[in-house]
Amino acid sequence: MTMPPRTRPFVQVDVFSTRPYQGNPVAVVLDGVDLTDEEMQLVARWTNLSETTFVVAPTLGGADYRLRIFTPDGELPFAGHPTLGSARAWLDGGGVPRHADRIVQECGAGLVTVRRGEGVLSFAAPPLVRDGALDEGYVEQIAGAFGIGRERVLAHQWVDNGPGWAVVRLATAEEVLALEPDLSRIPDAMVGAIGAYPEGSPYDFEMRTFAPRCGVPEDPACGSMNAGVGLWLTSTGAAPAAYRVSQGARVGRAATIEVGADADGTVWVSGATTVCIRGTITV
């Protein structure tokens, strides 16, 4: 049964940039209690951001809250920048975690730990639901959509932690930035491209992520993709245990994502979070 509309706390948080409005925004409804799936989807379509989240009561033991994550086209079991942005919004709104040094989020992917550091939040990469190399036909399809020859794809992998991500690795960051994808050729894809910067650069890699399946042509900064790629690159030795990613330049942003692997293989994705809008929404 649909409840009468009421006023709820609402914030927008900029994630993965120390300069406000240069990262990736997420809209957060801090009280999603009694909203239907259809109402949540309606709001997410209206905000028209890559993700809109709704904080509701947890159902799993040990969780501080449960997060529902919606794109303009549907719900996701997990997403990275909404995890960090929603944790910041929850803390900013007076949320008190069970443990002073960490927040435990429940979402469709299960329990996700968010660490509280000096000026940044970090989430532990959830396990992959699909990994391994892509089918060759799909690699050729991606290369064609990216407007590049197949030979320029040095490596490829499923890095799916819920949204359905696949990634291709190109030789250089410059090649990644130069891509002019025709997403009409891969309308159901959730795919990224990563390439290395020269040694001594401020960043180790440039990342771009494209999500036509979710109605998001290019995501300014993608935590879930970087989490999956981080598990792949650090476990294979293709990247050091700690590295820095730049993302968003082609859509006018300047995001910085820090990726680091613990000795036990846990990968953490870190970034700045800034509450830019505080107010209410009537739903």
Predicted confidence at residue 201, as pLDDT, reads: 98
Predicted confidence at residue 4, as pLDDT, reads: 85
Task: Please say if the pLDDT value at position 247 is more than 80.
Answer: yes
Predicted confidence at residue 2, as pLDDT, reads: 63
Tell me whether residue 118 is one of the annotated catalytic residues.
no
Task: Give tens-digit pLDDT for 92-134.
Answer: 999 999 999 999 999 999 999 999 988 899 999 999 999 999 9
Residues 112 and 229 in one domain: no
Identify the active-site residue in 39, 51, 136, 175. Answer: 51
| Confidence category of residue 188, pLDDT binned at 50, 70, 90 | very high
Structure tokens given for 13: 């948080």
Average pLDDT, the chain: 97
Residues 54 and 122 in one domain: yes
Residues 67 and 94 in one domain: yes
Residues 120 and 190 in one domain: no
- Does any domain span residue 55? yes
Name the amino acid, one letter, at 204. Answer: D
Predicted confidence at residue 242, as pLDDT, reads: 98
- How many separate domains does the chain show? 2
Residues 123 and 148 in one domain: no
Q: What are phi and psi of 62, to 5 degrees?
A: 90, -10
- Does any domain span residue 182? yes
